[in-house]
């Protein structure tokens, strides 16, 4: 039996300490934690190593092997060291992975943005296309990775009709 280096499958998680990876239903759940000893305050730019608390963020990540991936990331809140800073505490962010108040990883948000641009609609950022059995023949189907990323959200399922040759193009 050979083992796969998870960093090869999920290289954008390389800066984290992976604690557990498991299958949950049809998806993959990755539990990880940050490893840095300090963080920079976004308000004043000072570095702090005084930990206030920690909590778990639940982020949608890009799909792997047609499976949706959810990242349960333990992050810390730090006290700001700046005397005149308006922020007393702040949450650490992982470069190229998390954003403030984000519910998706940066790579996952890039996929959603690419779908929105490809479809030419602001509402496409909440697009979810059901499985081929849920959609009529003339519907546009997205690839497995995009569907794995967007397949289980709280948004309603939208079916985008494929333009017919005799109709005016929908773009």
Q: In terms of C-beta density within 10 A (0-12 exposed, 13-18 middle, 19 or more buried), how is residue 82 classed?
A: middle
What is residue 62's predicted lDDT score, i.e. its pLDDT? 87
Of the candidates 161, 115, 101, which has an alpha carbon nearest to the alpha carbon of residue 90? 101
Residues 62 and 147 sit within 8 Å (Cβ to Cβ): no
What is residue 43's predicted lDDT score, i.e. its pLDDT? 92
Query: What gap in Å lies between CA 101 and CA 32, rounded to an integer?
Result: 18
Categorize the per-residue pLDDT at 5 as very low, low, confident or very high, splitting at 50, 70 and 90.
low
Mean pLDDT of the 25-41 span: 91
What is residue 136's predicted lDDT score, i.e. its pLDDT? 40
Query: What gap in Å lies between CA 19 and CA 11, rounded to an integer?
Result: 15
Categorize the per-residue pLDDT at 3 as very low, low, confident or very high, splitting at 50, 70 and 90.
low
What is residue 66's predicted lDDT score, i.e. its pLDDT? 83
Residue-wise pLDDT for 69-109, tens only, equals 999 999 999 999 899 999 999 999 998 899 888 899 998 88
Percent of all residues in the chain with a pLDDT value above 70, rounded to a whole number: 64
Q: Judging by DSSP bridges, how do beta strands 27-34 and 67-79 pair with one another?
A: parallel
More confident residue, 142 or 115: 115
Beta bridge partners of 131: none
Q: What is the 3-state secondary structure (H, E, C) of 33-102?
A: EECCCCEECCCCCCEECCEEEEEEEEEEEEEECCEEEEEEEEEEEEECCCCCCCCCEEECCCCCCCCCCC
Please report how many Cα atoms fall inside a 13 Å half-sphere around the Cα of residue 148, on the Cβ side.
19
What is residue 14's predicted lDDT score, i.e. its pLDDT? 83
Mean pLDDT of the 136-148 span: 43
């Amino acid at each position: 039996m050979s083992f796969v280096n998870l960093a090869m499958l999920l290289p954008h998680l390389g800066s984290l300490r992976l604690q557990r990876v498991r299958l949950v239903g049809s998806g993959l759940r990755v539990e990880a934690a940050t490893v840095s000893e300090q963080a920079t305050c976004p308000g004043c730019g000072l570095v702090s190593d005084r930990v206030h608390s920690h909590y778990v963020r639940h982020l949608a990540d890009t799909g792997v092997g047609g499976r949706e991936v959810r990242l349960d990331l333990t992050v810390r809140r730090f006290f700001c060291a700046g005397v005149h800073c308006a922020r007393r505490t702040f949450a650490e962010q992982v470069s190229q992975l998390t954003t403030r108040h984000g519910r998706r990883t940066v790579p996952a948000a890039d996929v959603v943005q690419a779908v929105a641009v490809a479809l030419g609609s602001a509402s496409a950022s909440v697009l979810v296309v059901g499985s081929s059995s849920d959609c009529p023949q003339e519907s546009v189907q997205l690839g497995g990775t995009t569907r794995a990323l967007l397949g289980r959200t709280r948004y309603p399922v939208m079916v985008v009709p494929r333009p017919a040759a005799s109709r005016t193009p929908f773009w």
